[in-house]
Structure 1
């Protein structure tokens, strides 16, 4: 499962990462505000470079656990404002997971919602997935609001499920079924 790149929205191009994205990726990954609720901590330039090298290879879903990771580029400015991903959780059960990380500098413009919605469409309409989830640290209220704006429902709350940076944290799971996606699309 490999999409035809770039994936377009009204204002954004979602595309594979390139070597010249290092500055933008480092600007994203070096901010404590960005990594606060993620499993990894801030990265220096070398760490961002290693991350970029991995991301550049994540362009297709060939087996369970594989991911598509896209740089999110604002078409008006040509700047990378964040990233979105789609992970194939289970081919057998036709389940995927979306994720996103955006530079707060570009917050409040709806870019994350627009890009994440495009990934849902990719999963449901292009790849024929039956179920999509989004997982987050229970403290991340902004991420929960984003998933709710997408029409996903809160499905699970695991109390002190993971250790993140030395602290036991809750994990919250949102989900949407293909039929719910179709119903949502028909009502808009």
Structure 2
């Protein structure tokens, strides 16, 4: 049995593992290539660049599959469960445990048509349940670029909801476009989750 579920659900969203057994690289490539709609806005604050070839999508899916099978990390395709865009590729989310520290880092990116729908917070709640209820971790951390006001609002909202805290400004925390960038870091503990999970 895998440490991570192959599929999960929340109220409005479905999460399917990103894995070579399940995903066509050309489907991913259609949403992350240099000509994809709004790709410059999507990639402005993330740690990856738009793909120039389908091979990059294939290689990323292979890496995610290896991590999933080894119990190192899980990356999921996020799709709405209902509505006019039901089943459509909305974005990717992931959980990356550091087993020795009993800590996981979570992240997400969405295609622009799915911004502003509250999906980030819903998805965070599902990954927190995975981290604390299934993986028995102690802390979940999340970061955003200091200039990314959209992520700051979304993350602050769900971190407050689940009783977590803003830990501070971490210098040279990420590399974006080949350059070190600062990050704002937040965390939620297992105890905070247990006290606030129904919020």
2:183 aligned with 1:171, yes or no? yes
Q: Deviation at 1:79? A: 1.0
Q: Residue 114 of structure 2: which of 106, 115, 122 is its match?
A: 106
Alignment partner of 1:38: what SS? coil
Q: Would the alpha carbon gap of residues 85 and 61 (structure 1) be closer, same or farther in structure 2, given more than 3 Å must change?
A: farther
Question: What CA distance in whole angstroms lies between the structure 2 residues aligned with 1:183 and 1:61?
Answer: 32
What is the CA–CA distance in structure 2 between the aligned matches of 1:170 and 1:60, rounded to whole Å? 32
Quick one: structure 1 residues 110 and 61, their matched pair in 2 at CA, closer, same or farther if it must change by over 3 Å? Answer: farther
Question: Aligned partners of 2:70, 2:103: CA distance in 1, in Å?
Answer: 12
- Other structure's SS at 1:59 match: helix
Show CA shifts across 1:15-64 (max 9, x none).
Answer: 112323632453145411111112221113422232233233442563xx
Q: Using the TM superposition, name which of 103-112 and 26-35 deviates more.
A: 26-35
Match of 2:17 in 1: 16
For residue 178 of structure 1, report the CA deviation from its aligned partner: 0.7
Secondary structure (helix, strand or coil) at the match of 2:68 reads: coil
> 1:32/1:69 Cα in 2 relative to 1: closer, same or farther (>3 Å)?
same
Structure 2: segments with no counterpart, 5+ residues? none
Larger mean Cα displacement after TM superposition, 137-146 or 174-183: 137-146
Preserved contact between residue 64 and residue 75 of structure 2 (Cα < 8 Å): yes
Are residues 170 and 11 of structure 1, via their aligned partners in 2, closer, same or farther at CA, if it must alter by over 3 Å? Answer: same
Q: Distance in 2 between matches of 1:9 and 1:21?
A: 25
CA contact (8 A) 2:75 2:95 kept: yes
Question: Hey, what does 1:156 align to over in structure 2?
Answer: 168
The answer on whether the counterparts of 2:32 and 2:51 sit within 8 Å (CA) in structure 1 is no
Runs (5+) with no aligned partner, structure 1: none
Aligned pair count reads: 183
Change (3 A) 1:149 1:142: same
1:120-131 counterparts in 2 under 5 A? 120-131=128-139
Provide the aligned C-alpha RMSD in A: 2.2
Cα distance in 1 between the residues matched to 2:145 and 2:33: 17
Q: Secondary structure at the match of 1:80?
A: coil
The alpha-carbon deviation at position 121 of structure 1 amounts to: 1.0
